[in-house]
Chains A and B, each alone.
Chain A
């Protein structure tokens, strides 16, 4: 009982305070035996510290040898010319000056950003819209949810092969459907202006993934808020704008961050469907990085591109975090 009161309702963060609450509750409940309990607990504490490190050790070891070490190594590699086959050669800042004069780097960042800018907002709007529709106590909800969510579990080469045919200019199903509407569809994957929209379209096929998350968020909004608003005579529309959307902003925020990180790492689709073409119009950052590292074996230069990607993701994440104060609404701030 006490525990429920003590613990912050969102199980995240403040774990320590939760535990201390438990201890307080437990000792309050046992009453008399306080002294003995405390002494036992200091013994347990040392043991817990040992076990804490022990249980966390797989991750700690992995972090050191597979993440931290490689990161440092990768940073050093940016100053070398290295084809793996031969010994690395220290070339100072040559990779950096090559980076600045290589038009394809900037180009691949623009391509990837354009894709993310097209895909993420549309995915958010579609996912939210569908979630709001499904949250209207719709019958058959479970079936709709299953069907819309299903494409999200499919990914990788199989989906790319499938979509290469779907987007085919002459016999693909997309252009067939467009032709039924009297539209002559473009040659999606071989037209530089249409290849990115084609990738966006393919990405949007997975919008059920974000829908599931938004739907759960919507179902977590306490119904008494809506009831109170209804009593006050608020329309469906104003309830949507004044209650639903503000309360769902933390979920949108989190989804935006994940979506950005994922979109910037797009690789498989481009590798299978276009190889970056036509005319480099779909040369995503990771695809270019792969070409540099494993096709022309410029490991040092590729490492530098990887770092640029990392810093770019970091920058965008920071911007999102900075902006969140303006538009993300946390319930703790409300006067309820």
Chain B
């Protein structure tokens, strides 16, 4: 249906390769092409190894005893694997609580930002009104504005409102949409045929119904990309939680991990275990929703 154009371009190579490999003759061709590609693979594989080593080493260290972490040469496969390191890391600090807090803030931000950004993007992509294009330029300009310029006045504002040490400073701004997501969704909405809206409007659908019933269901790939991006960013957010959340019971995983890494500075295996636990939701999300990650990156990264 409303698939992105780059969706097809990004996948063509893969599917072509997949379709190729049925018959014996094509298997033969497959071998020959592999041989022809050998120099490329010889370049790619070392690169791959270098890229993977940091993660592999971290996982290995997280399962090692403390003595083994500091052993040279490195023992890549810890024996025995000490899964208890993860349990210990989780219980030395209330990581369960931090995970729940982070899940709450992240979920609230994802829902609020996806809804608000799509509403605004709809106005910029599908409705004709004076000032629209000029205001859209302002949206683009704010993407260039570093957060640090507004960070201090926002802090003053939110502390006057008594919001310090609550989640409101983190969640409330999400209600107003994010410029990057407005941009992404607008670009997507514009690829959908306008006949859809026109037909719906002729049938007496209101503007809101056109948005909610016609456009949104067509835009699941882009909305998913937005949700995934925001999940990733909210989960990893550090500077804002650092400024606003002071009591430990309110902390998010990023603050908890930073504290953990400061307290257990010699316990490399536990530090690695804690770091991997914090990264785990993102990694799982990446493997489940990889397609949407790549779509989103591509869709916004290509438009200049």
Contact = CB atoms under 8 A, between A and B. Distances in A.
Interface of A: 3, 10-12, 15-16, 18-19, 22, 26, 44-45, 47-49, 51-56, 58-63, 66-67, 69-71, 73-74, 77, 84, 130, 133-134, 136-142, 144-151, 153-159, 161-166, 171, 173, 176-177, 179, 205, 208-210, 212-213, 215-217, 219-220, 250-251, 253-255, 258, 261, 264-265, 267-268, 271-272, 286, 289-290, 293-294, 299, 302-303, 306-307, 309-310, 313-314, 317
A332 B175 CA distance: 39
Contacts of A289: 148
Interface of B: 6, 9-10, 12-14, 16-17, 30, 33-34, 37, 40-41, 43-44, 47-48, 51-55, 57-58, 61, 69-70, 72-74, 116, 119-120, 122-125, 127-130, 132-133, 135, 138-139, 142, 144-157, 159, 173, 175-177, 179, 182, 187, 190-191, 193-195, 198, 201, 207, 211, 232, 235-239, 243, 253-255, 257-258, 261, 268, 271-272, 274-276, 278-279, 282-283, 285-286, 290, 293-294, 297-298, 301-304
29 contacts: A52-B128, A52-B129, A58-B176, A70-B149, A70-B154, A70-B157, A71-B145, A71-B149, A74-B153, A136-B37, A137-B33, A139-B17, A139-B33, A139-B37, A146-B290, A147-B52, A150-B55, A153-B285, A157-B238, A158-B278, A162-B58, A164-B261, A165-B58, A254-B301, A258-B301, A265-B146, A272-B261, A310-B146, A313-B146
A130 B40 CA distance: 10
Contact of B194 (A19, A215, A272): A19
A157 B133 CA distance: 39
A156 B152 contact: no
Given A15-B124, A130-B47, A155-B236, 14 more contacts: A54-B123, A56-B123, A59-B176, A66-B154, A84-B159, A140-B17, A146-B290, A154-B279, A159-B275, A161-B261, A165-B272, A171-B69, A254-B303, A267-B238
Nearest to A165: B268
Nearest to A19: B128
Given A58-B119, A146-B290, A313-B144, A52 B132 contact: yes
A294 B125 CA distance: 40
A310 to B, nearest CB: 5
A67 B178 CA distance: 12
B278 A220 contact: no
B254 A11 contact: no
Contact of A47 (B130, B207, B268, B294): B207
Contacts of B13: 137-138, 141, 219
Contact of B14 (A142, A153, A158, A166): A142
Given A56-B135, A286-B148, A151 B55 contact: yes
A155 B119 CA distance: 29
Given A70-B157, A299-B156, A251 B302 contact: yes
Contacts of A158: 236, 254, 257, 275-276, 278-279
A15 B72 contact: no
B196 to A, nearest CB: 11
A179 B72 CA distance: 10
B44 A138 contact: yes
Contact of A48 (B116, B138, B144, B207): B207
Given A66-B154, A141-B14, A53 B146 contact: no
Contact of B152 (A162, A258, A303): A303
Contacts of A148: 47-48, 51
B10 to A, nearest CB: 5
Contacts of A67: 142, 145, 150
Contacts of A19: 128, 194
Contacts of A73: 153, 156
Nearest to A51: B207
A1 to B, nearest CB: 11
Q: Which of B119, B153, B268 has the most CB of A within 10 A?
A: B153
A73 B150 CA distance: 9
B123 A55 contact: yes
A213 B41 contact: no
B304 A253 contact: yes
Given A45-B128, A171-B70, A267 B239 contact: yes
A217 B302 contact: yes
Contact of A265 (B128, B148, B257, B290): B148
A213 B302 contact: yes
Given A19-B128, A137-B13, A162-B275, A55 B119 contact: yes
A63 B138 contact: yes
A59 B207 contact: no
Contacts of B201: 44
Contacts of B243: 294
B24 to A, nearest CB: 17
Q: Which of A48, A255, A314 has the most CB of B within 10 A?
A: A48
B130 A49 contact: yes
Nearest to A292: B152
A227 B239 CA distance: 51
Nearest to B135: A56
A77 B152 contact: yes
A205 to B, nearest CB: 6
Contacts of A60: 135
A18 to B, nearest CB: 7
A154 B283 CA distance: 8
Given A84-B159, A133-B43, A70 B54 contact: no
Contact of A70 (B135, B150, B190, B236): B150
A153 B40 contact: no
